[in-house]
Copies of this chain bind each other. A is one copy, B any other.
Amino acid sequence: MAGASLRGMSGRGYGGAFARSLLVVTLCALFVSAGCKSTHHASHEPASLAQGGSGSALIAGSEDPLPSWNDGPTKAALLDFVERVTREGGPDFVPADARIATFDNDGTLWSEQPVPVELAFVIDRVKALAPQHPEWKHQQPFQGVLEGDLKAVAASGERGLMELFAATHAGVTTEQFDATVTQWIAMATHPRFDRLYTELVYQPMLEVLAMLRASGFKIFIVSGGDVGFMRAWAERVYGIPPEQVIGSRAKLRYEVRDGTPSLMLLPELDLLDDKAGKPVGIQQVIGRRPIAAFGNSDGDFEMLEWTTSGKGPRFGLFVHHTDAKREWAYDRNAHSGKLSRGLDEAPRRGWFLADMKRDWKVIYPFEQ
């Protein structure tokens, strides 16, 4: 999806129109979320999902590395790509150290509806912090969040959204923020499924991660979401360590107080890792072009474009949300995870669509 959660922090350098569009997306998302109660209770721990089914399966072996995928052109293309780049001596062989794959997170590895998970976190944090801020009862946009009056939040404009993010993502150290997210994600549950958010990861995509890993790929998340928010749980849930998570990020300040150093999160955006910001984030952190990229929205368009325009074998794929019954169906008119230009251009660019309804036997691990 499109990193709606951090979008309000700063539109500098992207022009006023862009900043306004961010505002609209984020407020729409907030508005929808008003109907959802994000309840907190201790739930059963999720099973370790990092293995994702057949982690050690070999493509050429008898075991199917993608058992949750229905047979069809998309599954065949995935298997074919991995077979080609790993076949030593073949025309499309890629040395292991250049096998880099990037994955968007929201809507690509886990569900982003009815609102992106990080936005649920923002709302819950405002509620949790409210007792320390009695002034919020009478101060927008906090009053609106606390009273579920999203029209008031919307009226506070971009400045209001920046205040929401400053209050929930800044003014603390990186270690404090990590602890807060770790605690929240262990308890917060999804309003529709009443399960931990980390249980709403896509089983078929876990299998892709496992297949690529077993084939020598190094996997990076490249998401519009906040990098610290994802790092708090990505290794446990996806098997992707912190140094392989790229996201939007706030500026940092190194401070030493009473001899103890810390890194303070500042209320200012350092990188918006969305759209044209994704190739920038990839270059800053990875320093070379991926050979495979997976997304689900127009926010991932430039990542797929950058990845698949390099020389040699390349792979691009959009997860297409077509299953209103088991998950959600949305594309061109979505408030989060809009996929329009990508849908139009995928065929001529040679990008694949994973049609959730058609291609996936199961959506979530708990269905198995």
Contacts and interface: CB of A to CB of B under 8 A. Distances in A.
A285 interface: yes
Given A243-B286, A254-B276, A287-B243, A261 B174 contact: no
Interface string A275-306: 01101100111111000000000000010011
A309 B260 contact: yes
A227 interface: yes
A261 B231 contact: no
7 contacts: A227-B284, A243-B286, A252-B283, A253-B276, A254-B279, A261-B279, A261-B305
Contacts of A46: none
Contacts of A285: 243, 284-285
A242 B288 contact: yes
- List the number of copies, as a whole number: 2
A243 B288 contact: yes
B227 A287 contact: yes
Q: What size tier do the contact residues of chain A reach?
A: 35 or more
Contacts of A253: 276, 280
Given A254-B306, A261-B306, A286 B242 contact: yes
Given A227-B287, A287-B231, A305-B256, A263 B243 contact: no
